[in-house]
Amino acid sequence: MKVQVTHETRYNYVPAVEVAQHMAYLQPLNTATQQLLSHTLQVEPRPDQQTPALDVYGNTRTFISLQTAHAQLRVVATSIVATQARSMPASDMAWEPVRERFRYRADGDYDAAAEFVFASPYVARHPDFATYARASFAPATSLFTAASNLMHRIHADFKYESKSTEINTPALVALAQRKGVCQDFAHIMIACLRQMGLAARYVSGYLLTKPAPGTHRLIGNDASHAWVSVLLPDLPQTARWCDFDPTNDRCGWGSPGEGYIVLATGRDYSDVSPIRGVIHGGANHRLRVAVTVTPLDVTPLSGQAQIQAQSTTELP
Amino acid sequence: MHAPSVPTAAQDFAAPAAAGHFDELRGHKAAAGVPPANDLAAPWERFFDHQASDGLGDLNHRAASLERQIRDNGVTYNVYSDAGGPQRPWSLDLFPLIVTPQSWQQIEAGVLQRVALLDHVMADVYGPQQLLARNLLPPALVHGHPGYLRCMHGAAPVGGTYLHIAAFDLARGPDGNWWLVSQRTQAPSGLGYLMENRLAVSRLFPQAFEHMQVQRLAGAYRALMNNLKAISPDGPDSHIALLTPGPYNETYFEHAYLARYLGLTLVQGGDMLVRDQRLYLKTLKGLVPIHALLKRLDDQFLDPLELRSDSTLGVPGLLQAIRAGNVLVANAPGSDFLESAALLGFLPALSRHLLGQELKLPAMPTWWCGERSAMEEVLPRLAECAIKPTYPGAVDHGNVGAVLGRDLSPRELDEWAGRIARQGDEHTIQSYLPLSQLPTWQREASNPAQDGRIVPRSFMLRVFAVSKGDQSWQVLPGGLARVAHDHGEIATMQRGGSSADVWVMTRDAVDRTTLLAPALTPRAVTQRKRLVTSRAAENLYWLGRYTERSENTIALARLTLECLNGERPSSVPLLAWLGKMALANALVLPGVPGATQARRVFERSLNASLGGTDPATSVGYNLRAVRLAGSAVRERLSQEHWGLIVRAQEELAQACAAQSRSGDYSSIETLSILKAAGQHMAAITGAQTDRMTRDDGWRLLSIGRHIERLRFLSASLARGLESGSVESEAGFEAMVALFDSTITFRAQFQQVREMAALIDLLVLDRDNPRSLAWVAHTLRGRLAKLAGSEPNALSELSLRVPDPGVWNLAELCACDEDGVASATGVENLTALRDLLDQCAEAAFDLSEAIGATYFTHSGEAKQSVGA
């Protein structure tokens, strides 16, 4: 499926901001199941500097610097990507040998995915995660089955509730309150997997939320979405990650589905937050985020080419 | 009869080291029992030989002189790194640690090899990561370490070197061999303290120092600076700054000290900004580029954009500037993972792989428990080892400092073993050995007249490697010996340990070069001249204001108490004036009855509030404010100046606390406290006037003082007129006394108490530094110079000060030229009152305008945003 994503971030500042620096992760990735066809990142007012570079995980991060006073900042990312229908991975490796794989031994082998076994800023280690996860990890269960089961349980046990958490809520807090948004669901699942000694990473992206005829509606965090990628070592070397979306209880190799668009992957939200910045001045600011995902394949005659999801977030 | 030689006496005198420890004084492992006679190690024999003329009896004097030196130089170590924590004088032992040439060769070669190895490891981790791929380095110690900075991956450091300064902590075992215990690369401390130690101790033993061929230290600092200059983006003209977290940091003293010693600008994050991927310093004259930073700030705080977003200590965009190669940072950010004790166990194999060499200086055997075989091997031996956190400082990991197995009960040992088995990777076990003991001089605190004793104490030695460019390093031939408190074994300054100078002897000629850098280029000289950061400017301004305010409140408090207890009965208007003044200047709290109503209550309240403890803001409060502002610009104040500030504040605080404990607020006692404080203030203002370079920073300090004086003077006079106090004889004299002008007044006017005389002296006299005209005139001059305008041209700011040139005595006295008053009574002096109002307003306006013109950018709030 070919889709266009427009992601607009707008800040209004009172008083005007004198100097600002931002880091944006708004350019979709090229993956085995997703091709980036075109991308533009437009910043108003015109920044003094806008420098894209690859980060350590291969995501594109763009450094934006504004050195003149501005009362409003508008960042618009427009991308066209081709996504593929999901497929189910052919993986039956039990979870215990995967865990062993990441345990260091002087005579062992190195797996670069080990990086995603460790704690990260939003995903601290805690025994509570193991307590919750254990039910899904019966001995000799395949990792794929265990992870799917964990995803089902999180989907069933946790309540999706907008604004029940902040963007910087740690996984442990969300676990305790049994509710959150997609970012929290993803963090909790990652924490559970890591606590079991497995490699899991965070995926930031979008989800086409308008239901196709005859299917039920999927919940996305206002179209900006987040889910989990789990390493299945017995898959082919080039594409060993299988995606799990605990918010919608869907999984698939490459992505949980055709309507998912991958922006960036990292250890957790802190590695790939769509835009973060430091401003001088602007004591009061208002933030609006609007994401529009539009399928481009559908013939115009059917009248389906329309806004599929739109979001507005305001922070005090 | 012949007196025994000093070495023999020293030996008889000195308790032996604890059995099983190496005894530095005797040069071998101590056995149980009484040590044999004639058993002094050769260097110590030489050392004591040089004390021959004075004998051991003189050591007490030297120890006392050392303490005084440390206190007077203001060498401090902030025990807790926050505003309220105590500042403790740096603790330094009298005797140095003497390192023989043989010992030093072993240390030097081992350290040189290790720093090169660490630099290689860092280059690999931030580059190809081959060491991980080859399994030579566990991912948990890189990717799992919070100090591994992903955002720096792939960024090559300017000049190719990652580590410009590395510190190595060494222990000396019972057999006299040296072992590496830990290494510090992120922001190692000690280079300033050890220099201060050297200056203090070498001065006390000049003969021994001269004749024992002790290696000098300056060469290493010079090599470091020369290399930084050579590889910095702007070459030899590069502007290098020392980045400090600020005065609350535990080692801030040394940041200021090093900045002064090395000739660097001392900066905090808020002093800088990044534009076009370049780093700039905000100064009074605009933005000045910075090309290199000597970093004493932990990595996580460097850049709120990419690292800790709640940090206010860093500079947003700094990492981008570093990655762009526009700023050299020593050390390159991201070295924290090298500090983990867990790494030590992997270094031998890394050395074979990267250098093709065995390590020359062994590390204490260390087991990282993330590797199961290592954990299983070491768990049974926990009781004989130290348990260390693999990721120290990472709050998420819930770790604290090191724990010694032998200090734990069997139950605690079991608990630790359980914890280690569950989270092996978070724990590192290091074996432990009895630390060598060096002689220290302990004075009898109870009886200073009595002789002291030579007492052995355990120590660790911190040595430093500094880069001299092109993958080569130099070991500073000296170091910091950290000495354990009492009979303890853990030597840290946080736990109340002490330090000792380190004398490294050489067989070769002593390198006597000093730090004096090669000639600066004219461009660099011009650039560096009068560089005043906006933050320093702001603090200097407030230092000036609070200095003046302290002086004024001290004078006012003294005057008030003297009037209340004087021989002559005080008039009601005088008491009313003093009461109002006391309230306006916060000498008494609001709500306290005035001096006219309840004189004794008022007096007691004034005495009780003097220390300025919450909520009072009396003299004690002002002195604390002086000290706080001063500490923020510590590097600009002479040792003497700073010492005076500290003493003035501490002595008053102690005296007031004693008074408060006894509950006896006698005015006689308070007056003597105030007198002492007044003398300190006179010395402080002397230091400010006479001993500071008259750059723009000093100008702002002076402007601060004069604005405060303008405010106080005009308000005092206005209140004196308003209350009618100046019309009485006592009130008139009090006013003259408050402005320190009694002597002048008597000389000029003898006993005439005419308003005209008063106005002439306190308002119009251009020769009296406490007259309004003098203050206004001086302010105008300073402001004009500050703005950098042509001589005699007045800047916009200076025009805000009323022009004393147009003031006229007759008009102010409301009389004609012959002195015939048009009306009588102070209530008719409207021109004077208007002038006083104008002056008070000008003081307020100016302060605001100066803030807006010169300080705005340093006070600006930064915040993080995200979506």
CB of A9 within 8 Å of a chain B CB? The answer is yes
Give the best residue of A56, A278, A288, A289 to mutate against chain B (max B CB count within 10 A). Answer: A278
The DSSP element (H or E) to which B864 belongs, if any, is strand B862-866
d(CA B12, CA B14): 6
Token pair for residue B416? 């630790």
Q: Which of B305, B323, B425 sits opposite A277 (nearest CB)?
A: B305
E-strand ranges in B60-159 read 76-78, 87-89, 97-99
Q: Which residue of A has its CA nearest to B320?
A: A63
DSSP B379: G
Among candidate residues A114, A93, A11, A24, the one with its CA nearest the CA of residue B145: A114
Q: Which of B5-14, B190-199, B594-603 has the lowest mean pLDDT?
A: B5-14
Is the pLDDT assigned to residue B484 strictly greater than 90?
no
pLDDT tens per residue, range B116-169 = 999 999 999 999 999 999 999 999 999 999 999 999 999 999 999 999 999 999
> What pLDDT does residue B524 have?
54
Between chains, do A283 and B861 touch, taking CB under 8 Å as contact? yes
> Cα separation of B332 and B125, whole Å?
13
The pLDDT tens digits of the residues spanning B362-375 come to 999 999 999 999 99
% of residues, chain B, pLDDT over 90: 53
* CA separation for the pair B752, B13 (Å, rounded): 73
The per-residue pLDDT for B246 is 85
For residue B517, the model assigns a pLDDT of 53
If pLDDT is split at 50, 70 and 90, which confidence band does B379 have? very high
Interface probe, candidates A110, A265, A268, A288, chain B, greatest B C-beta count within 10 A = A110
Q: What six digits make up the tokens of A270?
A: 């802190």
Residue B597 makes CB contacts below 8 A (sequence gap 6+) with none
CB contact under 8 A, B863 and A279: yes
- B84-100 average pLDDT score: 80
Contacts of B598 (CB under 8 A, 6+ apart): none
A79-95 residue pLDDT tens: 999 998 888 888 999 99
List the one residue out of B548, B546, B625, B618 whose CA is nearest residue B587.
B618
For residue B129, which phi and psi values (nearest 5 degrees)? 55, 35
Q: Using CA atoms, how far apart are residues B624 and B622, in angstroms rounded to an integer? A: 5
Q: How far is CA B251 from CA A226, B367, B461, B530, in A?
A: 44, 31, 18, 26
Q: How far is A137 from chain B (nearest CA, A)?
A: 18
Which residues, 6 or more positions from A198, have their beta carbon under 8 angstroms from its beta carbon? A95, A98, A99, A102, A117, A143, A230, A231
Which helix (H) or strand (E) covers residue B735, if one does? helix B729-738
Crossing angle (nearest 10°) for helices B534-565 and B619-632:
160
Confidence label for B449 from pLDDT (cuts 50, 70 and 90) = low
- Its sign, for the CA torsion B639, B644, B649, B653, is positive
What local confidence, expressed as pLDDT, does residue A135 receive?
96
Residues 6+ apart with CB under 8 A from B289: B234, B239, B278, B279, B280, B281
Chain B contacts in chain A segment 150-169 (CB below 8 A)? 167
| pLDDT score at B488 | 59
pLDDT digit string, tens, across residues B608-618: 999 987 777 89
Query: pLDDT over 70 for what percent of chain B?
Result: 87
Q: Which two tokens stand for residue B637?
A: 């104040």
- Angle at which helix B572-584 crosses helix B599-609, to 10 degrees, equals 30
- Window from A63-72, B739-748, B778-787 with minimum mean pLDDT: B739-748
A171: which 2 tokens? Answer: 């996984």
- For residue B1, the SS3 value is coil
Mean pLDDT of B358-363: 97
Q: Which residue has the higher pLDDT, B496 or B478?
A: B478
User: Distance between CA B352 and CA B356 in Å, rounded?
Assistant: 4
Residues facing residue A42 across a β-bridge:
A76
Inter-residue contact B242 to B221 (CB < 8 Å): no
At residue B485, does pLDDT exceed 90? no
Place of tokens 């009130």: B731
Burial label, B647 (beta-carbon count in 10 A; 0-12, 13-18, 19+): middle
Model pLDDT for residues A30-61, shown as the tens digit of each residue? 998 899 999 999 999 999 999 999 999 999 99
Residues of B in contact with A287 (CB under 8 A): 865, 867
Yes or no, beta carbons of B396 and A167 under 8 Å apart:
no
Cis peptide bond N-terminal to A45, omega within 30 = yes
- Is residue A312 within 8 angstroms of chain B, CB to CB? no
Give the nearest chain A residue to B146 (CA atoms): A120
Enclosing H/E stretch for B784: helix B772-786
Confidence of residue B381 (pLDDT cuts 50, 70, 90): very high
pLDDT in tens, A190-222: 999 999 999 999 999 999 876 656 665 555 445
Question: Using beta carbons and an 8 Å cutoff, which residues of B are at the interface with A?
Answer: 132-135, 138-140, 143-144, 150-151, 153-154, 273-277, 304-306, 309, 316-317, 320, 323, 370-373, 396-397, 423, 425, 860-867
Q: Which chain B residues are closer than 8 Å to A194 by Cβ?
A: none
pLDDT tens figures, B668-718: 899 999 999 999 999 999 998 888 888 888 999 999 999 999 999 999 999
> Which pTM does this prediction carry?
0.83
Q: Do B340 and B145 touch, CB atoms closer than 8 A?
A: yes
Average pLDDT, chain A: 88
Q: Is the backbone peptide bond immediately before B615 cis, with ω within 30 degrees of 0?
A: yes
pLDDT above 60 (res B781): yes
The answer to whether the CB atoms of B309 and A280 lie below 8 A apart is no
Cβ–Cβ < 8 Å for A64, A50: yes
B392 phi and psi, to 5 degrees?
-65, 145
* Average pLDDT value for residue range B169-191: 94
By the 8 A CB rule, do B711 and B553 touch? no
Could you tell me how many residues make up chain B? 867
